[in-house]
Structure 1
Amino acid sequence: MTTLVDDRPLLTPLTVPGGERSVAQRWKAVVAAVPDRTALVSDGAHYSFAEADRRSDRLAALLLPRLPAGNDPIALAMGHDADTVVAVLAVIKTGRPLVILDAHMPAERLRVIAGLARATAVLTDPARAELARSLGEPVELVVDTTELLAASGTVPPPPLPERDYGDTVAIIFTSGSTGLPKGVVNTNGQSLNDGLFLRVGLELTSDDRMALVFPLSFLAGYATAIGALLTGAAVHCFDPREAGLGGFARWLIDERITVLSCTPHLLRSATGALEPGQTLESLRVVCTAGEAIHGRDVAAVRPFLSPDATYVNMTGSSEIGSLSSFAIRPGDEIPNGSVPAGIAAPNKRFHVVLDDGTVAPDGVPGHLVVTSEYLSAGYMTSAELTAEKFGVDSHGERFHLQGDLARIDNGILMLLGRDDAAVKVRGYFVEPAEIESAILDSPAVRETVVLAVTDDAHPTYLVAYVVPDPRAATESVAALRRRLRERLPEFMVPAVIVPMTALPRNERGKVERRALPAAPERAIGAPPATQWEKVVADLWGEVLGLDEISLDDDFMALGADSLTAEEMLARAGDRFSVSLVTSDLLEAPTLREFSHRVSLGSASLPSHPDVVSLGGRGTATPVFCFAGGGALALGFAPIARHFGDRPVYAFQSHGLERRAVPDRTVEAAADRALQLMRVIQPAGPYLVVGHSFGGLVALEVARRLRDAGQEVALVGLLDTFLLTGLTVQDATEAAQIAQGAMVPQRLDTPPGRFAGGFQALDGLLRRVLPDGVPHLPEWGRHARAKVAGVITFDGQRQFDAHFDHTVKVARRYQPKPYDGAALLITAENNPQGAATWAPVLTGRLEVRDMPCEHSSMIREPHAAQVAAHLAAEIDALGL
């Protein structure tokens, strides 16, 4: 409560029902109590409550005599700033319904909305005046608010409109299932109650600085602005769509924002943009709305907040306004999976009904019904839809059929997804939200959407669109499918998984499901027939997490990556007593071909241990790729698929798959590769690409080709590091950090009485071992690196041995300046950009950044973007 100053009234807490029956009436009460408090802030504008009141009074008074006759709505086509909120208040003071147009929407959609709303007048600003004038009928009047406010002379304030709870204050347009937007009628009572929801759910006071980042044309934006102002809080405007995410976190810090309400997607992006060590200390409350939030999202944002901050999950809709909230306070246990919708908002009640209309018992899912006096008045654009969704119960209370599936556990609401999202798969009732939660239960996944595909030609099946987290190693489709099988019934595992770099979103920031790409069909072909085909199909099914494998299914196309292929080949070797390498799988990629190859045994399967062909039989200039340390050449398969018929060849470390002494220098590896390359392509122009350590080999190959008088058109370096001069430990740590691997704690000096003896021993051995005694946890890896290729290890240890060997090789490599064309593609958190490479890459250098971690760069969905960057350079060369 605000202290009494002079004869000003106290700012009484907003209550509903209460003495103030309209938004305009409550606004005047706040202005009278706290006139000098900050009300609105945006870039270049800072208005107190008194100043915002004077400006909106003047605008309303000048506007009223110019308005067309009647009570038709007034539209706003303005920006996202303090002046726009002033214009909102001015329209409310005229007593006309308000319609806010979002200039970020397509102009045609805005014309449709203006027409559906029957808006006869539009308020605008100079930047959007042309858009306002293009709206057409029924708009009769377009007014530039800047010119109106700048007009000379004094104008008496307009009389306060006589309005009550049930009167319309705004019309919020949302997407409609018919293809046309729906106009949802927002009343004074609903707006006031949404302000009460902020006061109670967020404990909002006049001391708070509330961030307005939701567009004002959405209920979340309108309700945030109006609700915060009606509690006496300051509203700070920021539009991340225009200002970008880069400055969003800095803005939150500089403005000392105390309450942030946004979408989960925006919150993830904001915290992801923070610099190491940065925190949002001023925030006491962070709330998200608009999409489901998961426990891991809350855990991820916690380190960036003050220890006293509270996280609130808020739910609602344009039709009902505020619905519920679930607060996670400091010290509270963070829920696993989806965060509950929580307890009912003030003056709202909810219950769940079954298909027969009876109330569902506690914990039983059903259809959500919301009851309140403070709901929307319905749809101005459809009386039929209003009658379908709104009604009056036997007690005379209004209710709304929200269209959500839900359950209630001890008064806590859990939303389970939309009614129309629930489907039956193979006779079982399936809710995609549960599958989405299971997919998200991994740090490798950032976002996902699961849809059901139903048509007459096929049984209903599920499709998952998955966006990997750029900070983690991308999970292969096969690995994801197998993980889901460990958690979900088989019928709930999506039949098709589509990796994506981002999910399409509509103007409200929500996932635009209709804009998702069509899922590729997986036709079920002829089943395995011979004994060999059946046993190999069983093996593939185990590794890939699939029940059915057809004869013409391609192993890699079923979602495998190089690690999955390596696992399958190892299992095949154990089970069938054959020695197979990745080139065998590339030459026989389908179940039919691979089964035949296995049946022949390894003796009749000659192949080269260091280079594989990744397809493409065309006549275009081939691309030669070099895998990272310990990585299979097969890892380039996702990129090669995007080159169509262009030949692609990939090299891997000598001795990786067949016992042999590996190359001890980058130069030796380049010489070995060149012998094979000159057989495949005797003369230039050459295209060479390397990932990680392979980039150093590619660079050396290119230099030697140019020294021999050959043309090298392009060198592509995919997140390659310069480790020259670093100690083995530091080089290993740098490489591990690049790959997102955990780095063991350094144990240079053991504790206790042995410290002195260890240091003496370390000093003595540095004469023999320049890097000193290997760190204790690293002794095993150090020893394996020494015998890599000579001794074959099992599984991950084989990779580690060759990886550690190449780290030692890389740190001894002294690259000479290369003046040819180069393309450097870096992953997130790679500190070695163009400046680091400038002394080495002295010719034309193009740099591209990728939103992913090191190893994920050559996996889908990122492989497609890498291939596009490479293809653009190659096409520009005319090759």
Structure 2
Amino acid sequence: MSLVSKILQACRDHAAQPAVIDGDEAHTYRDLEQMSARVAAGLQNMGCRVGDIVAVEMPRSFELYASILGVWRAACGANAIAPSGPPDRRRLVLTQSATRVVLVRPDDVPQSAPVADVRYLSTEDLQEGGHPPRDVDGANSYVVATSGSTGQPKCVVLGPAALDGLAVWHADTWKHEVAPRTLALASVGFDVCFQEMAATLTVGAALVVVDDQTRRDSFALLRLIEKHEVVRAFMTVASLQMLAIAADAVGGPPACLREIVPSGERLVLNDEVRELCAVHGIVLVNQYGPSETHVVTEYRLDGPPAGWPVYPPLGTAVGEADLLALDGDIVRPLHEGEETELVISGPMVGHGYRGDPELTSAKFREYQHEDGSRRRCYRSGDTVRLQDGLLHFTGRVDEQLKIRGYRVEPGEVEAVLLRVPGIRQVAVLGVRTHGTLGLVAVVTEKEPGAVTRSALAAALTDTLPDYMHPRRFLRLSELPMNTNGKVARRTLTELVESGGGSDVDA
């Protein structure tokens, strides 16, 4: 059964139940089916063909999720775009992805299209009739834009297998007695927003929409979780850490919350996160996967949080993901103890970069497996180590730092500094001064003045060789975040290089 068929089956089985709770209004599965059918029929009537990319430029809302489902029912790929994003980037994403139709809310139709040959329509403008919506998956499922080294976004196109397999995996691994009512928290255009939909709507549970104001206020987010009895939340590591601090200030998280699924960047556990999970036995599910494949590994932390490591493993494969090493021109299984670039194979591997065949052929290639078969693979650029049967992240092929001739992984330094009392967040950067690359640690504190330079230096002296010691320690009130809630390391590096931040005192 296809992903679309699973959601439509849920619409039939749970017609009167809430599918999307948006503010004070609960929209039922019947509402979801009806609006998505109107969108699908309207897109087909205006000439959209199987595999076309249709943008949905809306904030998190019932209309957003119903429109994405409508795009899928028209057998098209969805390109979700946040209307609050930078206009230039939105235009670049539309151009790069070859999007020709953009769905917006009625009041958001522009006077003139910002991009030539792109038609903006409200969902009310779509003409129904003549073309019943499909209940099978199209060739493309969604487009997600990632940052490119040239400053131009790369638009990755993924097929339906990525979300379909992920939805099945979430349903099979959900062990709690209550339905997985889930926050709709992820940034529009982040691949996790599609995961929230697939994992929730295929099993008849409800998405609880988080508006932008609540998303920025962890205390308000805790109140929303409690009000709507949310049991699962997908969130970035930075958002998890902020939620943990807020929960600690109010005496703990709501008792309804059962699982948190952090993703998007390397999971870092501090005391606040451990305390958050210890109060009511919240399970953390660490997930990993590049945008080009979506989620391919998971590791469940469900024992006593006090024993959880600072950097949990990536874990083991999700669904049909095949995690491989490249040995010359041959791919093979990873060997215990080896550290290598991770190569991913399986049905979740994306189609490639829209409009960039050269980059697609470089990153998405067919290799011969040592068993003699041919495998289509994606080279992740992430280095991993297999230890005791579990995958561990060790760094990036293209971001490894060489300090005085030694290879340094900033994450290893961050792990040590996070243990210093008073530290809330830390980011270690490679910053070039007078032609020499050195480390700079930028920290935020639980309260002003909680951290001293001598405490930071002492922690490093006891643990790491001197070439791994940052030459400067800077403090900021907050680390800059990108639109997906990750630490914006490029922005942070530019801030440091321009003299931003204040030195941590002795």
TM beyond 0.5: yes
For residue 224 of structure 1, give the secondary structure of its aligned residue in structure 2.
helix
CA distance in structure 2 between the aligned counterparts of 1:389 and 1:424, rounded to whole angstroms: 25
Please list, as runs of the form range in 1=range in 2, the aligned pairs for 1:269-284 lying within 5 A after superposition: 269-274=242-247, 276-284=250-258
CA distance in structure 2 between the aligned counterparts of 1:356 and 1:478, rounded to whole angstroms: 49
Per-residue CA distance 1:738-775 (angstroms, 9 max, x = gap): xxxxxxxxxxxxxxxxxxxxxxxxxxxxxxxxxxxxxx
- In structure 2, stretches of 5+ residues that fail to align are none
CA distance in structure 2 between the aligned counterparts of 1:70 and 1:355, rounded to whole angstroms: 38
Q: What is the TM-score when the length of structure 1 is the normalising length? A: 0.53
CA distance in structure 2 between the aligned counterparts of 1:559 and 1:486, rounded to whole angstroms: 22
One of 475, 491, 496 as aligned partner of 1:515? 491
CA contact (8 A) 2:274 2:305 kept: no
Residue 576 of structure 1: aligned partner = none
The 3 A distance-change label for structure 1 pair 454 and 361 is farther
2:93 matches 1:116: no
Residue 273 of structure 2: aligned partner = 298
Q: CA deviation at 1:356?
A: 9.7
Greater gyration radius: 1
Q: What is the TM-score when the length of structure 2 is the normalising length? A: 0.90
One of 211, 217, 242 as aligned partner of 2:183? 211
CA distance in structure 1 between the aligned counterparts of 2:320 and 2:361, rounded to whole angstroms: 22
Q: CA deviation at 1:220?
A: 0.8
For residue 366 of structure 1, give the secondary structure of its aligned residue in structure 2.
strand
CA distance in structure 1 between the aligned counterparts of 2:309 and 2:50, rounded to whole angstroms: 54
The 3 A distance-change label for structure 1 pair 189 and 280 is same
Residue 439 of structure 1: aligned partner = 417
2:348 matches 1:374: yes
Residue 73 of structure 2: aligned partner = 93
Residue 220 of structure 1: aligned partner = 192
Q: CA deviation at 1:64?
A: 2.6
CA contact (8 A) 1:462 1:494 kept: yes
For residue 81 of structure 2, give the secondary structure of its aligned residue in structure 1.
strand
Q: CA deviation at 1:488?
A: 0.6
CA contact (8 A) 1:209 1:257 kept: yes
CA distance in structure 2 between the aligned counterparts of 1:441 and 1:324, rounded to whole angstroms: 26
CA contact (8 A) 1:114 1:135 kept: no
2:287 matches 1:317: no
Equivalent AA in structure 2 for residue 416 of structure 1? T
For residue 32 of structure 1, give the secondary structure of its aligned residue in structure 2.
helix
For residue 341 of structure 2, give the secondary structure of its aligned residue in structure 1.
strand
CA distance in structure 2 between the aligned counterparts of 1:358 and 1:452, rounded to whole angstroms: 32
One of 416, 419, 422 as aligned partner of 2:400? 422
CA distance in structure 1 between the aligned counterparts of 2:183 and 2:504, rounded to whole angstroms: 44
Q: CA deviation at 1:311?
A: 1.6
Higher strand share: 2
Residue 481 of structure 1: aligned partner = 457
Per-residue CA distance 1:619-642 (angstroms, 9 max, x = gap): xxxxxxxxxxxxxxxxxxxxxxxx
CA contact (8 A) 2:475 2:503 kept: no
Q: CA deviation at 1:317?
A: 2.1
CA distance in structure 2 between the aligned counterparts of 1:213 and 1:477, rounded to whole angstroms: 36
CA distance in structure 2 between the aligned counterparts of 1:383 and 1:143, rounded to whole angstroms: 30
Per-residue CA distance 1:201-234 (angstroms, 9 max, x = gap): 4448882211110023110111211232123222
Equivalent AA in structure 2 for residue 283 of structure 1? L
For residue 322 of structure 1, give the secondary structure of its aligned residue in structure 2.
coil
The 3 A distance-change label for structure 1 pair 306 and 383 is same
One of 244, 252, 263 as aligned partner of 2:225? 252
CA distance in structure 2 between the aligned counterparts of 1:47 and 1:251, rounded to whole angstroms: 17
CA contact (8 A) 2:222 2:253 kept: no
Residue 820 of structure 1: aligned partner = none
For residue 204 of structure 2, give the secondary structure of its aligned residue in structure 1.
coil
2:4 matches 1:24: yes
Please list, as runs of the form range in 1=range in 2, the aligned pairs for 1:730-879 lying within 5 A after superposition: none
Q: CA deviation at 1:79?
A: 1.5
Residue 387 of structure 1: aligned partner = 361
The 3 A distance-change label for structure 1 pair 314 and 241 is farther
2:46 matches 1:66: yes
The 3 A distance-change label for structure 1 pair 332 and 52 is same
CA distance in structure 2 between the aligned counterparts of 1:448 and 1:127, rounded to whole angstroms: 42
One of 467, 481, 485 as aligned partner of 2:444? 467
CA distance in structure 1 between the aligned counterparts of 2:455 and 2:9, rounded to whole angstroms: 60
Q: CA deviation at 1:279?
A: 3.0
Per-residue CA distance 1:818-869 (angstroms, 9 max, x = gap): xxxxxxxxxxxxxxxxxxxxxxxxxxxxxxxxxxxxxxxxxxxxxxxxxxxx
Residue 505 of structure 1: aligned partner = 481
Q: CA deviation at 1:163?
A: 4.0
CA contact (8 A) 2:53 2:100 kept: yes
The 3 A distance-change label for structure 1 pair 74 and 520 is closer
CA distance in structure 2 between the aligned counterparts of 1:241 and 1:63, rounded to whole angstroms: 32
The 3 A distance-change label for structure 1 pair 41 and 461 is same
One of 169, 185, 193 as aligned partner of 2:141? 169
Per-residue CA distance 1:32-83 (angstroms, 9 max, x = gap): 3333332111114322222210121122223432346796421111121112
CA contact (8 A) 1:447 1:468 kept: yes
CA distance in structure 2 between the aligned counterparts of 1:136 and 1:232, rounded to whole angstroms: 38
Residue 235 of structure 1: aligned partner = 207
Please list, as runs of the form range in 1=range in 2, the aligned pairs for 1:442-841 lying within 5 A after superposition: 442-454=420-432, 457-470=434-447, 473-516=449-492, 517-519=494-496, 561=505, 564=506
CA contact (8 A) 2:443 2:473 kept: yes
CA distance in structure 1 between the aligned counterparts of 2:330 and 2:427, rounded to whole angstroms: 30
CA distance in structure 2 between the aligned counterparts of 1:370 and 1:160, rounded to whole angstroms: 31
The 3 A distance-change label for structure 1 pair 93 and 43 is same
Equivalent AA in structure 2 for residue 481 of structure 1? A
CA distance in structure 2 between the aligned counterparts of 1:276 and 1:421, rounded to whole angstroms: 39
CA distance in structure 1 between the aligned counterparts of 2:196 and 2:143, rounded to whole angstroms: 15
Q: CA deviation at 1:404?
A: 0.7
For residue 295 of structure 2, give the secondary structure of its aligned residue in structure 1.
strand
For residue 393 of structure 1, give the secondary structure of its aligned residue in structure 2.
strand
Q: CA deviation at 1:410?
A: 2.1
2:11 matches 1:39: no
Residue 186 of structure 1: aligned partner = 158
CA distance in structure 2 between the aligned counterparts of 1:344 and 1:66, rounded to whole angstroms: 41
For residue 473 of structure 2, give the secondary structure of its aligned residue in structure 1.
strand
CA contact (8 A) 1:206 1:233 kept: no
Equivalent AA in structure 2 for residue 514 of structure 1? R
Residue 136 of structure 1: aligned partner = 115
Q: CA deviation at 1:29?
A: 2.6
CA distance in structure 1 between the aligned counterparts of 2:80 and 2:255, rounded to whole angstroms: 33
Residue 859 of structure 1: aligned partner = none
Please list, as runs of the form range in 1=range in 2, the aligned pairs for 1:73-92 lying within 5 A after superposition: 73-92=53-72
Q: Give % identity.
A: 23
CA distance in structure 2 between the aligned counterparts of 1:435 and 1:331, rounded to whole angstroms: 25
Q: CA deviation at 1:477?
A: 2.6
- In structure 1, stretches of 5+ residues that fail to align are 1-19, 523-556, 565-879
Residue 363 of structure 1: aligned partner = 337
The 3 A distance-change label for structure 1 pair 354 and 155 is closer
CA contact (8 A) 1:115 1:137 kept: no
For residue 460 of structure 1, give the secondary structure of its aligned residue in structure 2.
strand
CA contact (8 A) 1:407 1:416 kept: yes
